[in-house]
Amino acid sequence: MTAISEMQNLLQEDDPAAIYYVEPPWVVYFRNDVTGIFINPVNIGTYNYWAMSRM
């Protein structure tokens, strides 16, 4: 078991630090005439404005 796996096991099961209770999706709502929007799972909540446009 790698150290990272061991830490996850420790935090979740052996010596729980928390109740990790939900992983909600990120949701973005936008007008249909706007293009160039995507969700990056790491860069949450950001937009590439230059690559966006209105149809």
Partner 1 sequence: MIEKDLLRERVDRRTLIKGAGAAGIAGMVATPTTGMAAPGATSGVRLRAQSDPATLVVAAAGSPSDLDPHSSYDYQSVMAILGAYEGLIGLKGDSTTELEGIIAESWESNEDFSTWTFKIRPGITFQDGSPVDAEAVRLNYERFLTLGLGPVAVLSRFVSDPARITAPDESTVVFDLGSPQPIFPLAIASTYGPLIVNAKLLREHEEDGDWGHYWAQTNAEGTGSGPYRITNFEPGQILEMERFDDYWRGWDGNHFDKVIVRVVSETETRRQLLEQGEADIVDALNVEAYDALVDNPDITIQSQFVTRNQYFAMTVAGPLETPEARQAMNFAWPWTDVLEGVYGGRSRQPRGPVPPEIRGHDENTLLYTTDLERARTLLEAAGVEEGTQLTLAMQTGLDQPKAAAELFQQNLAQLGIDLTIDVIDLSTYTSLVYGDAGPDERPNLMWWGWWPDYNDAWNHLYPQVSCDAQDRPARICGLYATIGYRSCSTPPRMRRMTKRT
- Give me the least distance between CB of 36 and partner 1, in Å please: 9
Q: Residues 1 to 55: which contact partner 1 by CB under 8 A?
A: 2-32, 34, 37-50, 52-54
| b/e 4-37 (16+ beta carbons within 10 angstroms → b) | eeeeeeeeeeeeeeeeeeeeeeeeeeeeeeeeee
- Give me the least distance between CB of 52 and partner 1, in Å please: 6
Radius of gyration, CA atoms only, the chain:
18
- Give me the least distance between CB of 42 and partner 1, in Å please: 5
Q: Which residues bind partner 1 (CB under 8 A)?
A: 2-32, 34, 37-50, 52-54
